[in-house]
């Protein structure tokens, strides 16, 4: 065979194997026996070994690349469009309420009724795939939704992931999909692990996640991982289909596998019918399914609805009813939370529920224990609420034999032996120096939602605490860096990186710092609301320590007497004030958020948003409020500006009739002092 003929044969083999992969993984219609596929694959490998310059990124031989070097880490990649979560619902009443919110959000705009594209909610690992000119260039894990890890080599080994798109390819395409391990493959994998005296995986999702995090991509192929693509995230060089269902059709034409069950329905009744059908098929599928997803089908209506910070307003996940099993309650232990709250935790005889081995479950509080009348030694009913959180539902009295013992609530904290204090049905350890509280307070203090000190996760906090380097919140800013460098696993670079993070945390935004303090009842949104009338630490301390403190706090919208009492208690506790003083002495100076400063460029102006904007409405709203402006939903004579994006609806007509000034995004950016909103 001449070189030219070999080259032609190489191209022929790539095309044939790609076609067989598509038929097997996407269409579930194998065209050739496995032996024939293996023979052709071996022939292709031999050709490429003899002609290494012919190896292409889309060759089937490149699905399983070389392992990463020992000690390497997957590069972190920022998502071009965030991978936000879905709102979880558990009843049809909640679906009705979701539908009403959708209708309300479209009131006066859109001009058409929303339909819902329904599909199964697969219980796997989400990933983003990016193609340029039809070629797979990057695959990224979900991560925290904003930043993920580049796991391209492992995703190439996942069945159904096309290395090159079929047909006419767009200039750029980003899709989102769920990577899954078949239940049959999971069972075989666990049997092999047990046979090798290794720890088995708890469920297929954990097995999938563990496989994708391996530095060697080979197991992703050997363990039979598959993908179902569920969303077209970005498209350039072609017109985007007008609906989600048509997008799925386009994705299939490009060679992606999508869910075998997709249906467009009208309203909550249609969602309910699809839900019932999928629940009936739950036991038939070879993949874990924990509910159904309903999305507004029309893309234009989605754009009008926008998204919250964490979830889109146009989609929801309706979870299946929880699965229940019976097991034995072996003992009850008390855990101490970061706020000092004592929580009873059940130790159970291991039981498998919905594919997960459950050994522990929460018992919430003293009242819950009393009302359930569960006793140590009882046979109890356990369920996974939302298929996630194990809960003890109650005892099975007819199984009692008289050996069961009632639980005696401790009078002392199990961590520090301080006398337990009651607060209604809740029990607390009042000692702020309690070691159990200190460690959990520190973990919260440095967490991503709080000060976001990268490199100081839960395990690092435990290591530093055990070494005596961290004992209270202020100790973070007075670390002995030489002692840190002496810890196992900490070198010069990691110490320097953490030191920079700690210095950065000294000037955290004031709302983030207030939330980080871990005051009971003060979450991120509450902290932000409080930081408007109390724009710095000093003003907060002064308000809490002065006269009419409760009145001052409850005047803030959304702040009730309980949160006010928490704030007053926290800022009047001498030991807490000592900690804050030591922080200030160490250079901690929280920065007022731009939204908290009076006299912003948009102060006194009222805005209404309409149409499709480049950012979500929530993000644009936040930018306007950060500059002192106010955002409302209705156009009136009091409206100062209407910000209109593409496909603006009746609000634009009303604004024009009332003489309200209309801005595009560039105009808003000029008001904000930036190029864009």
Q: Which long-range contacts (CB under 8 A, 24 or more apart) does 347-353 make?
A: 348/380, 348/382, 348/390, 348/392, 351/325, 351/326, 351/327, 351/382, 352/325, 353/323, 353/324, 353/325, 353/382, 353/383, 353/384, 353/390
CATH number of the structural domain spanning residue 355: 2.40.50.140
SS (H, E, C) 384-451: EECCCEEEEEEECHHHCCCCCEECCCCCECCCCCCECEEECCEEECCCCCCHHHHHHHHHHHCCCCCC
Bigger pLDDT: 1 vs 185: 185
pLDDT at 412 over 50: yes
Buried b (16+ CB within 10 A) or exposed e, 342-369: bbbbbebeebebbbbebeebbbbbbebb
Q: Evaluate the CA torsion angle 115, 121, 122, 128 in order and state its sign.
A: positive
User: Poorest-confidence range of 27-31, 192-196, 455-459, 642-646?
Assistant: 27-31
Output phi, psi for 275, to 5 deg: -60, -45
- The last residue of one of the domains, among 448, 482, 505, is 505
Locus of tokens 């006299």: 599
The reported pLDDT for the residue numbered 239 is 93
Q: What is the pLDDT of residues 613-664, one digit of tens each?
A: 887 776 787 788 777 788 887 788 889 999 998 777 778 888 888 889 999 8
Q: Is residue 348 part of a domain?
A: yes
pLDDT tens, residue by residue, 479-520 = 999 999 999 889 899 999 999 999 999 999 898 899 999 887
Q: For position 419, what pLDDT does the model report?
A: 80
CA distances from 529 to 525, 546, 601 (A): 6, 20, 20
Tell me how many degrees the CA angle 24-27-28 measures, rounded to the nearest 5. 55
Please indicate, yes or no, whether residues 229 and 336 belong to a single structural domain of this protein: no
Residues with Cβ < 8 Å from 536, sequence gap 6 or more? 510, 590, 592
Strands (E), 199-280: 226-236, 263-266
**Structure confidence at residue 677 as a pLDDT band (50, 70, 90):** very low
Single out the residue of 598, 622, 603, 594 nearest to residue 671, CA to CA. 603
Q: Give CA–CA dist 30/36, Å, rounded.
A: 11
Per DSSP, what are the bridge partners of residue 128? Answer: 140, 176
Mean predicted confidence (pLDDT) in 407-425: 81
The answer to whether 60 touches 41, Cβ cutoff 8 Å, is yes
Same domain flag for 380 and 249: no
Residue 602 vs residue 480, higher pLDDT: 480
Q: Among the listed ranges 298-302, 447-451, 594-598, 637-641, which one has the minimum average pLDDT value?
A: 594-598
| Strands lying side by side in the sheet with 315-319 | 87-89, 315-319, 289-296, 115-122, 263-266
Containing structural domain, residue 49: 3-63
Check whether residue 498 and residue 446 sit in a common domain: yes
Q: Identify the CATH number of the domain in which residue 477 sits.
A: 1.10.150.20
Q: Report how far residue 69's alpha carbon sits from residue 108's, in angstroms, rounded to the nearest whole number.
A: 57
pLDDT single digits (tens) 524-568: 778 888 988 999 999 999 999 988 999 999 998 778 888 888 899
The answer as to whether 77 is a domain residue is no
Least confident of 100-109, 170-179, 399-408: 100-109
Has residue 52 been placed in a domain?
yes
Q: Which two tokens stand for residue 247?
A: 């997008």
- Taking the C-alpha atoms of residue 44 and residue 9, their distance in angstroms, rounded to an integer, is 9
pLDDT of 475 reads: 93
The 8-class DSSP code of residue 349 comes to: E
Are residues 373 and 464 located together in one domain of the fold? no
pLDDT at 597: 43
Domain identity same for 202 and 150: yes
- Residue, of 439 and 234, whose pLDDT is higher: 234
CATH of the domain at 42: 1.10.287.610
The answer on 401 and 439 residing in a single domain is no
Whether residue 462 contacts residue 439, with contact meaning beta carbons closer than 8 Å, is answered with yes
Nearest to 135 by CA among 160, 157, 166: 166
Domain check: are 210 and 307 in the same one?
A: yes
Residue 534: inside a domain, yes or no?
yes
Question: What's the whole-number mean pLDDT along residues 289-310?
Answer: 90
Q: Which of 558, 424, 458, 451 is nearest to 515 (CA)?
A: 451
Residues 432, 520 contacting (CB under 8 angstroms):
no
Tokens standing for residue 575:
């030991």
Question: Cβ(218)–Cβ(67) under 8 Å?
Answer: yes
d(Cα 637, Cα 660) in Å, to the nearest integer? 7
Q: Which residues lie below 8 Å from residue 355, measured CB to CB, with a gap of 6+?
A: 183, 202, 203, 204, 288
For residue 339, what are its two tokens?
A: 């706020």
Res. 231: pLDDT tops 90:
yes
| pTM beyond 0.85 | no
Angle at which helices 537-545 and 574-585 pack, to 10 degrees? 160
Please give the mean pLDDT across all residues of the chain: 86
Say if residue 295's pLDDT is above 50. yes
Are residues 616 and 587 part of one domain? Answer: no
Judge whether 81 lies within some domain.
no
> 68 pLDDT exceeds 90?
no
Instruction: Judge whether 518 lies within some domain.
Output: yes
- Which residues are annotated as catalytic? 121
Instruction: Report the chain's terminal Cα–Cα distance, integer Å.
Output: 62
Same domain, 179 and 251: yes
71 is a domain residue: no
Q: Looking at the 3D structure of the chain, how many domains does it have?
A: 6
Pair of tokens at residue 83: 């991978």
Q: Which of the listed residues 569, 596, 623 is the one where a domain comes to its end? A: 596
pLDDT(676) > 50: no
C-alpha angle 604-608-613 in degrees, rounded to nearest 5: 125
Based on the fold, state whether residues 139 and 288 are members of the same structural domain.
yes
Summarised one tens digit per residue, pLDDT across range 468-481 is 999 889 999 999 99
pLDDT of residue 166: 92
Same domain for 379 and 405, yes or no, is yes
Q: Report phi then psi at 508, rounded to 5.
A: -70, 155
Edge-to-edge strand list for the sheet holding 226-236: 135-141, 125-132, 172-180, 226-236
Q: For the chain, what is the radius of gyration of the CA atoms?
A: 29
Give the helix ranges, DSSP H, for 214-264: 218-222, 244-253
Asked if 130 and 173 count as a contact pair (C-beta separation under 8 A), the reply is yes
- Regarding beta strands 389-395 and 315-319, do their DSSP bridges make them parallel or antiparallel, or are they unpaired? unpaired
In a domain, 73, yes or no: no
Same domain, 498 and 583: no
For Cα atoms 93, 318, 301, give the angle at the middle one, nearest 5 degrees: 85
- CATH number of the domain at 623, please: 3.40.50.10190
Neighbours of 488 (CB within 10 A): 6
How does DSSP classify residue 127?
E
């Amino acid at each position: 065979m001449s070189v030219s003929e070999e080259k032609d044969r190489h191209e022929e083999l790539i095309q044939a194997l790609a076609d067989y992969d598509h038929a097997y993984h996407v269409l579930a219609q194998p065209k050739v026996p496995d032996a024939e596929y293996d023979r052709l694959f071996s022939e292709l490998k031999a050709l490429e070994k003899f002609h290494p310059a012919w190896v292409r990124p889309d060759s089937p031989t490149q699905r399983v690349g070389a392992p990463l070097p020992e000690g390497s880490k997957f590069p972190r990649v920022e998502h071009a469009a965030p991978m936000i979560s879905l709102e979880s619902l558990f009843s049809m009443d909640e679906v009705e309420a979701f539908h009403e919110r959708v209708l309300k959000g479209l009131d006066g705009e859109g001009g058409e009724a929303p339909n819902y594209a329904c599909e199964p909610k697969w219980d796997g690992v989400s990933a983003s795939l990016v193609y340029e000119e039809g070629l797979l260039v990057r695959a990224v894990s979900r991560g925290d939704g904003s930043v993920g890890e580049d796991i391209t080599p492992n995703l190439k080994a996942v069945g159904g992931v096309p290395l090159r798109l079929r047909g006419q390819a767009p200039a750029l395409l980003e899709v989102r999909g769920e990577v899954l391990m078949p239940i049959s493959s999971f069972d075989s994998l666990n049997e092999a692990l047990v046979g090798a005296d290794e720890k088995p995986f708890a469920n297929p999702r954990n097995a999938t996640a563990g496989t994708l995090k391996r530095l060697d991509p080979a197991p992703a192929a050997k363990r039979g991982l598959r993908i179902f693509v569920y969303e077209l995230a970005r498209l350039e060089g072609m017109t985007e289909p007008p609906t989600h269902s048509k997008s799925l059709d386009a994705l299939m034409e490009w060679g992606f596998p999508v869910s075998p069950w997709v249906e467009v329905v009208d309203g909550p009744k249609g969602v309910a019918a699809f839900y019932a059908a999928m629940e009936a098929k739950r036991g038939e599928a070879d993949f874990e399914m924990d509910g159904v997803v309903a999305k507004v089908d029309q893309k234009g209506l989605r754009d009008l609805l926008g998204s919250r910070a964490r979830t889109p307003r146009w989609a929801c996940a309706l979870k299946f009813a929880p699965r229940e099993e019976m097991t034995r309650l072996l003992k009850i232990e008390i855990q101490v939370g970061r706020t000092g709250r004592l929580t009873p935790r059940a130790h159970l005889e291991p039981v498998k529920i919905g594919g997960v081995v459950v050994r522990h479950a929460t018992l919430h509080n003293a009242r819950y224990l009393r009302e359930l009348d569960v006793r140590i030694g009882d046979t109890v009913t356990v369920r996974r609420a939302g298929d996630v959180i194990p809960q003890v539902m109650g005892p099975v009295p007819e199984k009692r034999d008289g050996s069961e013992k009632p639980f005696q609530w401790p009078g002392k904290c199990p961590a520090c032996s301080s006398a337990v204090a009651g607060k209604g049905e809740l029990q607390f350890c009042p000692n702020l120096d309690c070691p159990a509280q200190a460690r959990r307070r520190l973990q919260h203090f440095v967490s991503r939602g709080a000060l976001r000190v990268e490199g100081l996760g839960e395990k690092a906090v435990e290591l530093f605490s055990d070494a005596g380097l961290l004992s209270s919140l202020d100790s973070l800013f007075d670390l002995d860096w030489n002692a840190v460098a002496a810890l196992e696993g900490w070198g010069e670079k990691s110490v320097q990186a953490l030191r920079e993070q700690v210095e950065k945390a000294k000037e955290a935004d004031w709302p983030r710092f207030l939330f980080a303090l871990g005051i009971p009842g003060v979450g991120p949104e509450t902290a932000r609301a409080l930081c408007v009338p109390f724009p710095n630490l000093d003003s907060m301390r002064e308000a809490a320590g002065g006269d009419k403190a409760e009145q001052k706090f409850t005047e803030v919208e959304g702040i009730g007497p309980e949160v006010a009492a928490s704030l007053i208690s926290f800022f009047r506790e001498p030991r807490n004030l000592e900690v804050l003083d030591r922080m200030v002495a160490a250079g901690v100076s929280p920065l007022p958020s731009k939204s908290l400063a009076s006299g912003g460029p948009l102060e006194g102006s009222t805005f209404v948003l309409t149409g499709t904007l480049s950012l979500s409405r929530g993000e644009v709203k936040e930018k306007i409020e950060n500059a002192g402006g106010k955002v409302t939903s209705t156009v009136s004579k009091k409206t100062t500006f209407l910000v209109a994006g593409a496909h603006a609806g009746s609000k634009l007509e009303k604004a024009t009739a009332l003489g309200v000034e209309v801005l595009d995004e560039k105009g808003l950016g000029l008001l904000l002092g930036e190029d864009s909103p």
